[in-house]
Structure 1
Amino acid sequence: MTNIETYSVTYVTTPNYDLAHDISQKLVKENLAACVNIIPKIKSIYKWKGIIQEDEEYFMIIKSKNSLFNEMSECIKNMHPYDTPEIISLPITNGHKEYLNWIEASLSTGKEKS
């Protein structure tokens, strides 16, 4: 049985697809993420050093465990070109039991269970 408070969704933005893909591959290969979705070409509007910026970015949705956040965050920061990359983790407070079991199995063994 899984404890849903164990799992999280982490959001990361990247400046291009290749970087999002490379980070995703590394996170899954190193069992830091069970799954990563890459959403192409979102528009980000934000202030940086007092100036409003607009950029096209790629949005990553990373499914993992809370206990892996620090290691996952370091991995992302080491690969990311931004001075301050977006790495935001939110707890999963509700979820389909079988999907959460799949996350657990994927991260525990490193092999997909379907």
Structure 2
Amino acid sequence: MTTTDSEDKAERLAHGAIEGRIAACAQVSAPVTSVFRWENAVETSQEWQVLFKTAAARYEALEAYLRDAHDYETPEIIATPITRGGADYLAWVAKETS
């Protein structure tokens, strides 16, 4: 998952990951309000979340893509392991990212 400061940027990140076959699916969520500390100040901003669905074997490629394509100095890049899921869906993710 990552966040960015515009819907357009979120969609570009999503499309790039799918086109590069480093994610099988990317979901762009409506804006969220983020409150965080940055450079000794508390900031509030509107961001769009992008949730990428990929295989564990493709994580490094997805992270490298996000670091290269993202315009934040320190982009949020968070991975959550899948412990269970529909076998057919997980097979689809593996197929689309291979």
Tell me the TM-score normalized by structure 1. 0.81
User: Counterpart of 1:92?
Assistant: 82
SS of 2:71's partner is: coil
Q: Which 5+ residue runs of structure 2 have no aligned equivalent?
A: none
CA RMSD of aligned residues (A): 0.9
SS of 1:52's partner is: strand
Q: CA deviation at 1:72?
A: 1.1
Greater Cα offset, 12-21 or 65-74: 65-74
User: Counterpart of 1:6?
Assistant: none
Higher strand share: 1
Question: Percent of aligned positions with the same letter in both sequences?
Answer: 27
SS of 2:51's partner is: strand
User: Counterpart of 2:40?
Assistant: 50
Structure 2 residue 90 is matched with structure 1 residue 105: no
Tell me the TM-score normalized by structure 2. 0.94
- Written as runs of structure 1 = structure 2, the 5 A alignment for 1:24-35 is 24-35=14-25
- Count of residues in correspondence between the two structures: 98
Q: CA deviation at 1:26?
A: 0.9
User: Counterpart of 2:61?
Assistant: 71
Q: Which 5+ residue runs of structure 1 have no aligned equivalent?
A: 1-10, 109-114
Within 2, Cα distance between the matches of 1:18 and 1:67?
28
Within 1, Cα distance between the matches of 2:93 and 2:57?
13
